[in-house]
Amino acid sequence: LPQRRGLRLSAPAAIQVTVRDALNQALDEELERDERVFLLGEEVAQYDGAYKISRGLWKKYGDKRIIDTPISEMGFAGIAVGAAMAGLRPVCEFMTFNFSMQAIDQVINSAAKTCYMSAGSIAVPIVFRGPNGASAGVAAQHSQCFAAWYGHCPGLKVLSPWSAEDAKGLLKAAIRDDNPVVVLENELLYGVPFEMSEQAQSKDFVIPIGKAKIEREGTHITLVAHSRPVGHCLEAAAILAKEGVECEVINLRTIRPMDIEGVEASVAKTNHLITVEGGWPQFGVGAEICARIMEGPAFNYLDAPAVRVTGADVPMPYAKILEDNCIPQVKDIIFAVKKTLNI
């Protein structure tokens, strides 16, 4: 009717959406799209999730699709893996990825290796998701990044979203994938609003697994990060731009398979590389990126050694001032950039 009157309907504009709501949308849309999808974990149903990611889903989909489990990660992760082998598509929530250590045998030995060990005859379409990395004031046993742990293992795909669009598009891609996928969210990002484009508001929106995104174009130095440190890199880049230094910021999005070609293309343009992550330095994501760059064609473009900015090589302290100094800050990134560029 409006078209007949000569009126033009305006397309929906970009809106502000928190990471929490983006994940909730992704779960809701995929539960609605495919009846084989179900969510299980501690407090995901009647309590709406420990972080309210599953808010409203139990009331909408009921006990068979949204399942509260006992506090037994090895038990409910095993149930989920078996369900995936039998043809369902479970989403297994860990209240934090620190607790996935209780279930790591299920994740690695049961989920990740089964497709290979069965010569491709048994698929395990399962998603393991939950908050990863440092939280705030919860000390050593609840503040560590598992990107390197799970990124180390063949058979898994490992995703690490930053923005609301990342969270929605990557989780939907993970649920639709026929392989085991680990989705490493960040608790401190759950309440952060991001602009969500008109395209991302669609129920068909998915982000391809294995493709990084350039969040900011630059010419002088490449900053590669995943999860929350992407925001720190963008803040550092904005400050450095006022001093005439243009940083290219790459949001890795996927830890495994890693988009090393995207990083190489950026390094070929900027001739400098810094990796930024919240995890420990030894055998970390940044260490892998630096090794791959050194072994590949982009090494010939480097005008200075690649540098890693990482979390401190200690268990996370409880005291706030020590915790702050264990996590890469904007000032640490700026210092690394200036040192690398010799300015």
Catalytic residues: 73, 142
Q: Are strands 127-131 and 221-225 parallel, antiparallel or unpaired?
A: unpaired
Residues 6+ apart with CB under 8 A from 311: 134, 145, 277, 278, 279, 280, 281, 326, 327, 328
Residues 6+ apart with CB under 8 A from 6: none
Question: Dihedral (C-alpha) 100, 106, 111, 117: value to the nearest 10 degrees?
Answer: 140
Do 254 and 160 meet the contact criterion of CB atoms below 8 Å apart? yes
Which amino acid makes up residue 181? V
Residues 6+ apart with CB under 8 A from 215: 230, 233, 234, 249, 250, 251
d(CA 55, CA 73): 21
**Which tokens in the block code for residue 194?**
């991001």
Do 224 and 274 meet the contact criterion of CB atoms below 8 Å apart? yes
Whether omega for the bond prior to residue 305 falls within 30 degrees of 0, making it cis, is no
> What is the phi/psi pair of residue 32, to 5°?
-70, -35
| CB neighbours of residue 241 within 10 Å | 14
- Rounded (10°) angle between helices 164-176 and 19-33: 30
Do 113 and 77 meet the contact criterion of CB atoms below 8 Å apart? no
